[in-house]
Amino acid sequence: MHWFRRLMYGRNGMDTLANVCLIAGLVVYIVAAIFDLFWISLLFFALVIYAYFRCFSKNVYKRRQENAAFVGFFALRKKMFKERKEWRYIRCSKCKAYLRVPRGKGTLEVKCPKCGETFRVKG
């Protein structure tokens, strides 16, 4: 076990994105095997190779950034879905940041906290 610990020292290891790639690869492999789709099975190899690339990558900073962006994307969608009855999510027309405005308050004047752009939006 000591050799494995030495091998993985300074490397990214398994993260959420690598796990999702492996699971997606497994699903793709099963679907390709059931329907006998050779070209789709190549996607399985691409996903598995990418997952192992992430796992053994020594550029931990970049891999952590990618993983945080991936996890954050789905966390935001989950939050949007949970709050869909009270809040409406819009994007800033200038910087494309997500802004949350209350529903049922009529037309509102919104100022983007990120870039300072002011625009009117229907709540």
Judged by phi (left if over 0) then psi (alpha if -120 to 50, else beta), residue 121 lies in beta
Single out the segment in contact with Zn ion by CB under 5 A; choices: 11-19, 54-62, 63-71, 89-97. Answer: 89-97
CB neighbour burial string for 83-103, b if at least 16 within 10 angstroms, e if fewer: eeeebbebebeeeeeebeeee
DSSP 94: T
Kind and range of the H or E element at 14? Answer: none
Burial class (CB in 10 A: 0-12, 13-18, 19+), 66: middle
Q: Kindly state whether residue 99 participates in binding Zn ion, applying the rule CB under 5 A.
A: no
Single out the segment in contact with Zn ion by CB under 5 A; choices: 19-27, 34-42, 72-80, 93-101. Answer: 93-101
Return the bridge partners of 29, or none.
none
Q: Kindly state whether residue 49 participates in binding Zn ion, applying the rule CB under 5 A.
A: no
Q: Kindly state whether residue 42 participates in binding Zn ion, applying the rule CB under 5 A.
A: no
- # binding residues, Zn ion (CB under 5 A): 8
What is the SS3 assignment for 101? Answer: strand
Q: Kindly state whether residue 66 participates in binding Zn ion, applying the rule CB under 5 A.
A: no
Could you tell me the smallest distance in angstroms from the CB atom of residue 115 to Zn ion? 3
- Closer CB to Zn ion, 9 or 118, in the complex: 118
Q: Which of 95, 102, 108, 121 binds Zn ion (CB under 5 A)?
A: 95
- Closer CB to Zn ion, 13 or 116, in the complex: 116
What does the binding site for Zn ion look like in residue numbers (CB under 5 A)?
Answer: 92, 94-95, 97, 112, 114-115, 117
